[in-house]
């Protein structure tokens, strides 16, 4: 009987130390998370596998919640900062449209400018969401093999309504090239860099797109003979919301190139810009074929 009592006490002590105490710690931590504290992390060194797995799952959950909270905070901060100008512009045109003496021509011009303003807001929202999500990316991207050269051609065709009226000429050197990466995100890269080449170009300008590969990496170059950038703008080109050159301010929101850099970085690649005012710009992108795990 004494032996049974001793075994019972020992078993109770074991359960208390190894199971109930860690569960109590988990319950306490969950209470803190429920109050908005996402800094909690539990030590995953428990001797009981099931308890250790619970701690691991809890840590993953808190990391994701922290990422979501950070994304929400950044989005609200960025939106409140960047929406002021387009909203103020739209409000100004609404006030002008209330003038009964406006000619039909002026009224149509103001309506078109308001429409441009709403499109700018939509584009701005999409880019802020994409960039904020990528900046808080904690889970690995999904990769698969696809034709990179075809994807770049698809982007150029998609943007045809923008470059065709300007009679911009494209020179393409895009040999058949397969790449293993995140196809959806890389589409956004080419969309941004090609659109910049169009947006900051001149009528009857030229855009040259080259793609070549080595055993270790792919190299993509897009050059134009557009308005170019100052040295200061080149230095800050990848900073969010940076718009220094007066000629560029009305044409973008300062998010395209930071988005490009973030996506290329997630593929462990690099991106750089060379530019000269009134001469043109070249953007160079390197994508490694083998990425470090």
| Ranges of each domain in the chain | 1-68, 78-136, 144-288
Looking at residue 88, what is its pLDDT? 75
Fold of 144-288: Heat Shock Protein 90 (3.30.565)
| CATH number, domain 78-136, options 1.10.287.130, 3.30.70.260, 1.10.10.10, 3.40.50.460 | 1.10.287.130
Residue 155: phi and psi, rounded to 5, are: -65, -45
Q: What is the pLDDT of residue 87?
A: 80
- Cα–Cα dist 228/241, whole Å: 18
Q: Which pLDDT does position 293 carry in this prediction?
A: 65
Using CA atoms, how far residue 172 sits from 76, 223, 279, in Å, is 40, 11, 20
Q: Does the predicted model carry a pTM greater than 0.85?
A: no
- Structure tokens given for 166: 């300007």
Q: What is the pLDDT along the chain (293 residues), one digit of tens a residue?
A: 555 544 554 445 545 455 667 777 778 888 887 777 778 888 877 767 777 788 788 888 887 777 667 666 665 665 665 576 668 778 888 888 898 888 999 899 888 888 877 876 776 677 667 767 776 665 567 899 999 999 999 999 988 988 999 999 999 999 999 999 989 889 889 988 999 999 999 999 999 999 999 999 999 999 999 999 999 889 988 887 665 555 444 455 566 888 899 889 989 999 999 999 999 999 999 999 988 76
Instruction: Give the CA dihedral 36, 39, 40, 43, nearest 10 degrees.
Output: 170
């Amino acid at each position: 009987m004494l032996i049974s009592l001793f075994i019972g006490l020992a078993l109770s002590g074991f359960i208390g130390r190894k199971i109930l105490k860690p569960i109590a710690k988990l319950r306490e931590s969950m209470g803190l998370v429920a109050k908005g504290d996402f800094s909690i992390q539990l030590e995953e060194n428990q001797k009981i596998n099931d308890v250790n797995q619970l701690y691991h799952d809890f840590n993953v959950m808190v990391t994701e919640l922290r990422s979501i909270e950070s994304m929400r905070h950044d989005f609200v901060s960025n939106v409140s900062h960047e929406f002021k100008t387009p909203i103020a512009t739209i409000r100004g045109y609404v006030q002008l449209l209330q003038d009964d003496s406006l000619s039909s021509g002026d009224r149509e011009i103001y309506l078109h400018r308001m429409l441009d303003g709403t499109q700018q807001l939509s584009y701005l929202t999409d880019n802020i969401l994409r960039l904020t999500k990528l900046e808080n990316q904690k889970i690995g991207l999904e990769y698969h093999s696809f034709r990179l050269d075809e994807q770049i051609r698809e982007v150029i065709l998609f943007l045809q309504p923008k470059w065709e009226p300007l009679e911009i000429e494209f020179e393409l050197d895009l040999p058949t090239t397969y790449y293993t990466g995140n196809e959806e995100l890389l589409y956004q890269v080419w969309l941004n860099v090609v659109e910049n080449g169009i947006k900051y170009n001149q009528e009857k300008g030229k855009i040259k797109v080259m793609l070549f590969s080595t055993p270790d990496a792919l190299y993509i170059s897009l050059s134009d003979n557009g308005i170019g950038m100052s040295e200061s703008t080149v230095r800050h080109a990848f900073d969010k919301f940076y718009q220094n050159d007066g000629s560029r301010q009305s044409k973008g929101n300062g998010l395209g190139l930071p988005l490009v850099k973030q996506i290329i970085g997630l593929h462990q690649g690099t991106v750089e810009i060379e530019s000269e005012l009134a001469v043109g710009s070249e953007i160079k992108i390197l994508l490694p074929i083998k990425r470090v795990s």
